[in-house]
Structure 1
Amino acid sequence: MPTESTYPKLAIPDVDLWTFLFERKDRAYPDYKVIYVDADTNRSYTYAQVRSTALDFGTGLKSVWEWKKGDVLAIYSPNCIDTPAIIWGTQWAGGILSPANPGYTADELAFQLKDSGAKGLVTQKPFLKSAIEACKKVGIDEDRIILMGDERDETMKFKHFSHVRNLAGTSRYRKTKINPSRDLAFLVYSSGTTGHPKGVMLSHTNIVSNVSMLVTGEGKNLSWKGGINNEGDKLLAFLPFFHIYGLTCLIHQAMHAGLTLICMSKFDLAKFCEHIQTHSITFAYVVPPVILQLGKNPIVSKYDLSSIRMMNSGAAPLTKELVETVYNRLKIPIKQGYGLSETSPTTHTQPWETWRTYIGSVGRLLPNQTAKYMSPEEKEVPAGETGELWLKGPNIFLGYLNNPEGTKNALTEDGYFKTGDVGHQDKEGNFYITDRVKELIKYKGFQVPPAELEGILISHPDINDVAVIGIEDHEQATEVPRAYVVPKKGVKGGKETEKRIVEWLGQKVASHKRLRGGVRFVDAVPKSVSGKILRRVLKEMAMEEKKGAKAKL
C-alpha cells in the first residue's frame, strides 16, 4: 500500500501567490519587519517595501510593456535582494518567472529564452554582454532588457527595474485574475538526459502548497521574533535563487514566516563564516560540499559559528561520518531533506529533534503527499525493500513545457511523479535515497546532463566518439563529469590532448558542466545493440582504475 504522510492533513489555500503572501489575514509579524538583507552592503527590504516595490513594478509592466497574462519574464542574475519584488510584481501582473543560471553562456541562455517564450529579461550590469547577445539570438528587443541590483548603466540605455513603473499616474491597473491550480508561477529549468534543459511548469498552487508544507516541517522551530535582539531567526542565503531550492525554501519561506534572509550573491567559505558570525545567523540551508568544508577546512576555526542552531542539507545524500565530523568540531546539528524541481521542491525533511537518530535518512514525508517505492517492473515493493520513489501531492508540477513525451514519461495517469531516485523506507516512516535511476550527474547540487556534453564534445576535431559519466570526488563530496574519448586516427591520447579537450569544452559551457573528472582515452565506447551508451560499464572501469590507484599507494 502507498504511504501517506503521518503529519495531519493541511488545508491548502486556493489562492495565487500574491494573495497568499500579501492579502493574508493570519500574518503575525508587522509591516516594518526586515525580511531581505544584502550580506555585503546591508541594503534591505521590509515586508512593506517588498509589497510596494512589487506593486510599482507590476503596474509598470502593464503600463510600459502592456504585460499580458501568461507572459514570461526571465531573470539572469546571481542572488539579489531585488529578486523577490520582481517575482511578485510580475505575478501580480499575471506573468510567469523563469530564472536562469548566471553562469550560462549566451547560447545556453538563448535556449531558455526561446523555449520559455520570454518577453523580457532582468539581469545585472556585469552580465549585460551575454544577456544582450542571447536576446539578439531570440529576437528580444534591447529595450526589454532591464537591470536589477546596485549598479546602473551609465549610458542610460538599459533601465533599472525600479524605473519600470506607471508614470501616467492616472491609469488604474488591477491585479490579473489567476487560476491557482492551472496558471503557472514559475518555469524553472531542470537538465534532462536528452541534452537540453526541460522547463518545469510550476503552478501557484504548487508553490503555495510547498510553503505550507514547509511550515509543518520547520515552522515551529523558526520564528519571526525572539533571540538576542528579538529579531527572530536569521537564515543565510547562498543557495541560488535561480533554483527551486532557493526560490521556495529561502525567498518564499522567509516572506511567509517573517524570517530575516541574509543574502549572499554566491558562496565563499570565508564570507559564509564571517556572515554567520556578524549577523548571528541561526539557520542555513546547505549542500554536502559546504558540509565537507565545515568539517575539514582550517579557515572555519577563525570564526564563531555558535549562533547556528541547525543546518539542513539537501541536493545529495550525506554520510554519517561527515555529519558527525562537523558536529564534533562545531557542535552544529545537521539534518537532511529531499526534493526536486518537479516537486516544488521539498517532499521530505528530518524533524529537528531526530536529526542524530536517523543520520542518512532524508526524513519524513511532508503533509498532503503519498509515496511508494516501485520495482523496475512498476510493481510496488514493501517497506525495507529498494525501489524507485514515486510521489503524489498538490506540490507535483504540471508537466514539462513543450515536451509532452517527457511529461508522459514522468507523470502517471493517476498523478504520481516518477522521481528517478532509488531508495527505501524503514518501519518508522523514515525515507532513504541511495541511488539514481537517471543518468544526470549532480555536481554540487547542479544537474549536468551527459548527453549535452557528449553532443558538444563530438564536434571536437580530435574526437571520434565520446561518453560522459559522473565519478565521485570524495575530496569535494560531489560527483564530477568525466569524458571517455575515442580519439581520431592519428591523434595521440595523452595529457596534452586531455588538456586541450578540457579547456575547449570549458569555453563552451557553464562552470558546473566542466570536465573536472578529466578525460580517459579508450578504444571504443561500450554500447548496447540499440546504440545506447552503457554507462554502467564505464562506471565499473572508473571503479577498477580507482582500486588500481589505491593498490599502488
Structure 2
Amino acid sequence: MPSESQYPPIDIPNTDVWGFLFERKDRPYPDDKVIYQDPYTNRSYTYAQVKNSAADFGKGLKALWDWQKGDVLALYTPNCIDTPAITWGCHWAGGILSPANPGYTVDELAFQLKDSGAKAIVTQLPFIKTAREAATKSGIPDNRIIIIGDQRDPNGRVKHFTSIRNISGTARYRRTKAKPEDDLAFLVYSSGTTGHPKGVMLTHRNIVSNVLMLRAGEAGHLGWSNGPNGEGDKLLAFLPFFHIYGLTCLIHQSLYSGLQLVVMPKFDLEDFCRFIQDYKITFSYVVPPVVLMLSKHPVVSKYDLSSIRMMNSGAAPLTRELVISLHNRLKIPIKQGYGLSETSPTTHTQPWEDWNKTIGAVGTLLPNQTAKYMSPDGKEVPVGETGELWIKGPNVFKGYLNNPEMTAQALTEDGYFKTGDVGYQDKDGHFYITDRVKELIKYKGFQVPPAELEGILVAHPSVNDVAVIGIYNEEQATEVPRAYVVPAGGLGKGNKEADEIVEWLNSRVASHKKLRGGVRFVEAIPKSVSGKILRRLLKVKAAEEDKAKKAKL
C-alpha cells in the first residue's frame, strides 16, 4: 500500500497565487514588515511595497502591451529583490512567469523563449546583450525587453521596470484572476540529462499547495518567538530564484510567513558568512557543495555563525559524513529535504528535532501526498527495499509543455509522478534517496549509487570535493566506479596518493562498490547552479582520457 503522510491533511484554499498571498485574512505580520533585503545596497521591500509594486507593474503590462491571460513573461536575471514584484505583477495581469538560468548562452535562452512562447523578457543591464540577441532570434521585439536592478540603460533605449510600474492612466485596469487547478503560474525548465530542457507546467494550485505543505513541515519553528534581535527569523538566500527551490522555498515562503529574506545575487562563501554574522541570520536553505565548504574552508573561521538555528539542504543527496563534519566544526544542525521541479518542489523534509536521529534521510512525507517505491517491472516494493519513488499530491505538475510523450512517461493514469530517484523508506516512515535511476552504476548486475561513495570520500582528509561516475571496463565487460577528486592543497598529486584514496575507500565498502576505475585528480567538479554534479561532463572527460590512453599504446 502507498505511504500516507504522517501530518494531518491541510485545507488548500481555492485561490490563485495572488489571492493566496495578498488577499488573505490571517496575515500574522504588519504591512511595513521588511521582507526582501539587499545586503549590498541596503535597498529593501516591505510587504506593502511588494504588493503595490507588483500591482502597478501588472497594470503597466496591461496598459503597455495589452497583456492577456496566459501570456508568458521570461525572467533572465540573477537573484534580485525586484524579482518578487515582477513575478506577482505578471500573475496580477494573468500571465505566466518563465524564469531562465542567467548563465544561458544566446541559443539556450532563445530555445526557452521560443518553447515557452514568451511575449517579453526581463533582465538586468549586464545581461542585456545576450537577452537582446536571444529575443531577436525568438521574435521578441526590442521594446519588449525590460531591465530590473539598480542599473539603468544610459541610452534610455531599454525600459526599466519602474517606468512600466509608473505608467499613468492605469487605474481602470483590474486584476485577472486565474483558475487555480487549470491555469499556470510558472513554466520552469528542468535540465534533463539529454536533449533540450523540458518546460515544467506548474499551476497556481501547485504553488499554493506547496507553500502550505512546506509551512506545515516547518510549523512551530520558522516564525519563532521573535528571533535573537526582536525581528523574527531571517533567511539568507543565495539559491537561484530561477530554480523552483528558490522560487517556492525562498520567495513565496518568506512573504507568506513574514520572514525576512536577505538576498544574494550569487553564492560567495565569505559574503555568505559575513551576512550571517551581520544580519543575525537564523536559517538558510543550502546545497551539499556549500555544506562541504562550510565544513572545510579556512575562511569560515573568521566569522560568528552562532545565530544560525538550522540549515536545510536540498537539490542533491546530503551524506552522513557531511552532516557530522559541519556540526563538529560549527555546531550548526543541518536537516535535509527533498523535492523536484515537477513537485513544486518540496515533498519531504526532516522534522527539526530529528536532524541528528535520521541523518541521511530526506525526511517524512509532507501532508496531502501519497508515495510508493516501485520496482523496474512496476510493482510496489516492501518497506526497506529499494525502488523508484513515485509521488501523488496537489503539488504534482500538470505536465511538460509541448511534450505529451514525456508527460505520459512521467505521469501515471492515476496521478502518480515517477520521480526517477531511487531509494527506500524505513518502518517509521523516513524516506531515503540513494541516487538517480539513470546515474546508478551497474557493476556485474549490482547497483552502485555514486552519491553513497561520494559521501564516504568527502570525509577523507585529502579530498576537498569528489564525484563518482561509472566507466565501461572492456576487460571486465562491465561498468566500474571511478572517482574524480579535487585534492586538498591543490593539484600535483600522483599515483601514490590516488592509490591511497582507493585503498581507503575500498576498506569501507562492499566488494561491488570498490573503486575499480581508480581515482583521477581534477581542479574542480562540474556542477549546476543548484549544486547537482554534472556527471555527463565527467563522462565526456573520461572518454577523452581513455581515448588518449589507447592512442599511446
Name the TM tier (shorter chain): 0.7 to 0.9
Q: Aligned with 2:262: secondary structure?
A: strand
- The answer on 1:37 being equivalent to 2:59 is no
Separation in structure 2 between the aligned mates of residue 141 and residue 160 of structure 1, nearest angstrom: 16
CA contact (8 A) 1:77 1:102 kept: yes
**Count of paired positions:** 477
Code of the aligned partner of 1:199:
G
Which aligned pairs between 1:383-394 and structure 2 lie closer than 5 A? 383-394=383-394
With over 3 angstroms needed to count, the CA separation of the structure-2 counterparts of 1:176 and 1:305, relative to structure 1, is same
Structure 2 gap segments, 5+ residues each: 442-449, 473-521
Separation in structure 2 between the aligned mates of residue 285 and residue 95 of structure 1, nearest angstrom: 28
| Residues 282-315 of structure 1: per-residue CA shift (max 9 Å, x gap) | 0000000000011111110000000000000011
Kindly state the Cα deviation for residue 317 of structure 1 after the two structures are TM-superposed. 1.3
Identify the residue that residue 476 of structure 2 maps to in structure 1: none
Which aligned pairs between 1:353-502 and structure 2 lie closer than 5 A? 353-439=353-439, 474=458, 475=463, 477=465, 479=467
Code of the aligned partner of 1:80:
C
Query: Which of the numbers 542, 546, 550 marks the counterpart of 1:520?
Result: 542
Which aligned pairs between 1:34-433 and structure 2 lie closer than 5 A? 34-165=34-165, 167-169=167-169, 172-223=172-223, 226-433=226-433
Separation in structure 2 between the aligned mates of residue 482 and residue 77 of structure 1, nearest angstrom: 35
With over 3 angstroms needed to count, the CA separation of the structure-2 counterparts of 1:142 and 1:287, relative to structure 1, is same
Identify the residue that residue 447 of structure 2 maps to in structure 1: none
Kindly state the Cα deviation for residue 42 of structure 1 after the two structures are TM-superposed. 1.2
Separation in structure 2 between the aligned mates of residue 415 and residue 368 of structure 1, nearest angstrom: 13
With over 3 angstroms needed to count, the CA separation of the structure-2 counterparts of 1:52 and 1:64, relative to structure 1, is same
Kindly state the Cα deviation for residue 166 of structure 1 after the two structures are TM-superposed. 6.2
Q: Aligned with 1:173: secondary structure?
A: coil
Percent of aligned pairs with the same residue?
69
Code of the aligned partner of 2:29:
Y
Kindly state the Cα deviation for residue 235 of structure 1 after the two structures are TM-superposed. 0.2
Code of the aligned partner of 1:289:
P
> Structure 1 stretch 41-50 or stretch 515-524: which is displaced more?
515-524
Separation in structure 2 between the aligned mates of residue 64 and residue 440 of structure 1, nearest angstrom: 51
Separation in structure 2 between the aligned mates of residue 93 and residue 376 of structure 1, nearest angstrom: 45
Separation in structure 2 between the aligned mates of residue 404 and residue 111 of structure 1, nearest angstrom: 18
Q: Aligned with 1:438: secondary structure?
A: helix
With over 3 angstroms needed to count, the CA separation of the structure-2 counterparts of 1:232 and 1:267, relative to structure 1, is same
Code of the aligned partner of 2:195:
G
CA contact (8 A) 2:63 2:170 kept: no
Identify the residue that residue 452 of structure 1 maps to in structure 2: none
With over 3 angstroms needed to count, the CA separation of the structure-2 counterparts of 1:139 and 1:33, relative to structure 1, is same
* TM-score of the two chains, using structure 1 as the length reference: 0.82
CA contact (8 A) 1:224 1:260 kept: no
CA contact (8 A) 1:424 1:433 kept: yes
Separation in structure 1 between the aligned mates of residue 199 and residue 90 of structure 2, nearest angstrom: 18
CA contact (8 A) 2:228 2:307 kept: no
Code of the aligned partner of 1:419:
T
Q: Aligned with 1:227: secondary structure?
A: coil
CA contact (8 A) 1:282 1:308 kept: yes
CA contact (8 A) 1:362 1:431 kept: yes
| Residues 190-232 of structure 1: per-residue CA shift (max 9 Å, x gap) | 0224410000000000000000001111131011761233110
CA contact (8 A) 1:105 1:510 kept: no
CA contact (8 A) 1:335 1:350 kept: yes
Separation in structure 2 between the aligned mates of residue 523 and residue 335 of structure 1, nearest angstrom: 38
Separation in structure 2 between the aligned mates of residue 141 and residue 387 of structure 1, nearest angstrom: 49
Q: Aligned with 2:231: secondary structure?
A: coil
Kindly state the Cα deviation for residue 103 of structure 1 after the two structures are TM-superposed. 0.4
CA contact (8 A) 1:288 1:478 kept: no
CA contact (8 A) 2:315 2:530 kept: no
Q: Aligned with 1:155: secondary structure?
A: coil
Separation in structure 1 between the aligned mates of residue 16 and residue 469 of structure 2, nearest angstrom: 40
Identify the residue that residue 8 of structure 2 maps to in structure 1: 8
CA contact (8 A) 1:270 1:299 kept: yes
Structure 1 gap segments, 5+ residues each: 442-468, 485-501, 526-540, 542-553
CA contact (8 A) 1:106 1:133 kept: yes
Kindly state the Cα deviation for residue 420 of structure 1 after the two structures are TM-superposed. 0.3
